[in-house]
Structure 1
Amino acid sequence: MARRKGKDLISQLPDDILLHILSMPCEPPRWKHLHTKLPALSFIMSVLGAQGSSLSTQSRQRVDSMARTLRRRCAGPDRDTVKRLCLAYRKDVPMECRYADEFIALAAASSLELFLNCPKNLRNDDAGPWSLHLPAATACLSMESCWYSVRPPHVHGPGASALKSLTFKDSFMVLHPGYLQDTAFPSLEELHISGCTLSGSIEITSATMPRLKHLRIADVSVVSLGTAAAIAVLADELTTLRVSCHDGGKPDPPSSHEMLCVETLFRASFTEYSYFRLRAPKLRVFDWRCCYAKEVRVDAVDRHLSDVVIEL
């Protein structure tokens, strides 16, 4: 191993150079091009510590290396399909955002998972609006953020029409009124909203999601005690609806937007909605666990509703 003054120099080479070394003829043939055929790829550009401190130094050289690796992988007509692409990057670093857009376009993965980092010291400000251009091949999109300052994106591109599954997974995102009505997802069949916070009422309707069949809402909170936030589900093709709050309690939330200023780990768990409205004429499964609503309105469900669970 090459060493200089006791220091390992080989391990400090860019990732794409290391991969080239691994693919040299001295390696067994079956391992030679393994990195060009793996169906799942993960790229971690940088991560943040619990208090917003960096756990990995931002390095354009390292991210450039990731880009070269993916470009080689995706070059040529005989390339192997990337089935799942996982990206972890910071929304407050323009360089990482640009590369993330390139990685998504190059890989054209059928499943895309985004882990969005942002420091907590932005206080009441956030990382700003942003858009996500999806390739036509992307059928599943999952997003997870580490703090409330990351907004959900405006999804566009051919993938917005082809998307079948959308997940906000245990994220700290704040869903603003109208967000789910701003973009049409004509092919979407599954929507999972977990751990988000409502700044107002939201509607999930057939107008933007005409094929929606399965909806899961878990641990979705209200931003403050004085906020009237309702959830309306008006979905003609919906067959399964599950609404739950795993905390099972009703603690007082922070006032106003104090949650954006808290430096320690904080998860809102106040789940009293001003009302919950349901119109799903094909609904067969209704599961409601440990959530509070001042009023629940059921306009229509399937007369053959077969599975109902209500837990308070």
Structure 2
Amino acid sequence: MECIARKSLLYKTKVEYGDWTINHIVGCKHGCRFPCYAMMMARKFGWIKDYEDWRKPKLVKNALDLLEKEIPKYKNQIDFVHLCFMTDPFMYDAEKDRIIPDIKDLTLKIIERLNRDGIRVTILTKGIYPDDLLNTQRFSKNNEYGITLVSLNNNFKEQYEPYSSSYETRVESLKKLAKAGLKTWVSIEPYPTPELDPDAAQIEKILEKIHFAKKIIFGKLNYNKLVNYCGRNSHNWKNSQEFYEAIARKVIDFCNTNNIQYHIKAGTPLSNEDHRNIFK
């Protein structure tokens, strides 16, 4: 796998529910088309040329060396570190039906190194969690493992998440961690409208699939970005405000009934500032 070097790794994120973060990979083989904010930023800053270049991930070869220098410097400022906002830490290779080994190995070493200094880690993937994480002698029980799940419709997946792991496999890998007593969460965003996914009104099906998770984050799709990305004609679905309010209400009611913590992202109907520090 191609590698690059960086001058720094740890940084404070501006994402509303984040704290500190690391992006130890440039690019993502999943090739999501929501659009992918990370890919657009990578193109803007000249890190990649185009979509195909984005789908050829590059490892930050000096990531562990940077961590050794930066952990002592920032440790007292860090509540937790998130992997990742600009890539996927357990990236799936659809052609070989597996987690990409080099990425998995580096991610596990990073989590282990942060945990060794008492720094907990939150993780989010559209890939598959490896069984290595079940080893609580190596990895902290305080880590929180999440998946992104915005649909169960395979036609939608084929169009918008073409190379990520299957929905079922993704859920099962998270459930295995939950059954082992580890902390799990789910990001249901960017959530599509029925214009993009005919099953979107039935979010109950997704919620029932992930009933074991301890936390849920929900957020709407930004249609303006979708228009700019793929040249769609409409800037919004005709009933988007009402739709997202109704769906957010279903998420809130489900979480309250099942004793699940939740956060409705800013800009989405029923968002609440009091819940933004969901990982604090």
One fold, TM greater than 0.5? Answer: no
Specify which structure has the higher proportion of strand: 1
TM range (shorter): 0.3 to 0.5
| Greater relative CO (CA pairs within 8 A, separation 6+) | 2
TM-score (norm 2): 0.38
Structure having the larger proportion of residues in helix:
2
Look at both structures and tell me which one has the larger radius of gyration over its CA atoms: 1
